[in-house]
Amino acid sequence: MNYFSSDFKLGILGGGQLGKMLLADTRKFDIQTYILDPSEEAPSQFGATKFFRGSLMDFDTVYQFGKMVNLLTIEIENVNLDALDKLEAEGLPVYPSPKTLRLIQNKGRQKDFYVQNNIPTSPHQRFVDLNDLRKSLEKDELEMPFVWKCAQFGYDGNGVKIVRSTLDLVNLPEVECIAEQMVPFKNELAVIVARSVSGEVKTYPVVEMEFHPEANQVEYVICPARIDEKVAKKATEIALKVSEAFTHVGLLAVEMFQTEDDEILVNEVAPRPHNSGHYSIEASYTSQFENHLRAILDLPLGNTNSKVAGIMVNLVGEEGFSGQVIYENIEKIMAIDGVTPHIYGKRETRPFRKMGHVTIVNENMDEARKIAEKVKNSIRVIS
């Protein structure tokens, strides 16, 4: 198949920032792209060959969109899987497959899958809804504290809450959910696995994530993780086992906990480019976005090693500000060596909304971490 400067059309479901960054590489290779997204403000609308506005959850919309392209991929998991099943049955290559997405889309099913495949994960219980969970608490079948997660449609700290008392259950939505045992951990790690159509597999180095204490969002992604080599090896092996179990095509970001006694537990996965791999645009030989393309098009995978230490800082809307976005002090951080901002193109800011990220590359990890702190404290996303 000739993908380059040809009539081949790649369809992407979702037109957020991940799609926008993926388009930088389709542009580089001159591959035609069609994008479907519900928002007229979608960051990907300007980079695609053709942009279509429509619901990702509507069967007909997704099915008709799929009929226009030669291959279909996603940048968000919440899409209509029945439409993808039909398209796949009619011979359209869909990566990751609807079968893989079905296992991942529902967090309860995803957790059960780990247990069935002997993949280490924290103990969990599934509930039809919040009422079902309350009954379980009344019968002492569930112990506090636990982590509540809605089974579907949660993202970036939305749909996740630590429950320490019944008061924490107030205002939670009445939806299917899971309760996970709280794991005392010393690090949150992630490994991105790229797997091509013909089964070539490569892993990116283990990264470490530092979280914002209140927003439950990643503040820094640090590559390589500052952990013992044995732990890194174990994390990589487990990520490969997870990747094999899901038999996904494309990228799989495997998020994990490193416990106090250095066990590795899988938290959750995302079958697409992921926040924990954004550093790779500047710091790696081949970015996660390029390798996602290579994998789904069954081209040889690129080198996943890092050229330098990389740290990513998320740019999120500051509390107390909503409206037309202003990036305060952006020129100050751009005066620092090795600092590259990525602005996602969302015109409206609101508290904790992901508006962009900044990559810091440096030969020296400690120096990179210091600069990252400086960047974090300088730039403000306000209105």
Show binding-site residues for ATP. Answer: 107, 149, 180-183, 188, 267-268
Each residue of 19-39: b (16+ CB within 10 Å) or e? bbbbbebbeeeebbbbbbbee
User: C-alpha angle with apex 104: 208 to 356, nearest 5 degrees?
Assistant: 45
Task: Note the helical H segments in the chain.
Answer: 17-28, 59-66, 81-89, 98-105, 107-116, 130-138, 229-246, 280-283, 288-296, 330-334, 365-378
Dmax (CA) for the chain in angstroms is 63
Q: Are the beta carbons of 74 and 37 closer than 8 angstroms?
A: no
Q: What angle do CA 229, 235, 127 make, to 5 degrees?
A: 150
Residues forming the annotated binding site? 107, 149, 180-183, 188, 267-268
Partner residues linked to 354 by β-bridges: 316
Nearest by Cα to 206 from 247, 241, 234, 244: 234
Q: Which residues of 185-198 are buried (b: 16+ CB within 10 A; e: fewer)?
A: bebbbbbbbbbbee
> In terms of Cα–Cα distance, which of 192, 301, 273, 286 is closest to 19?
273
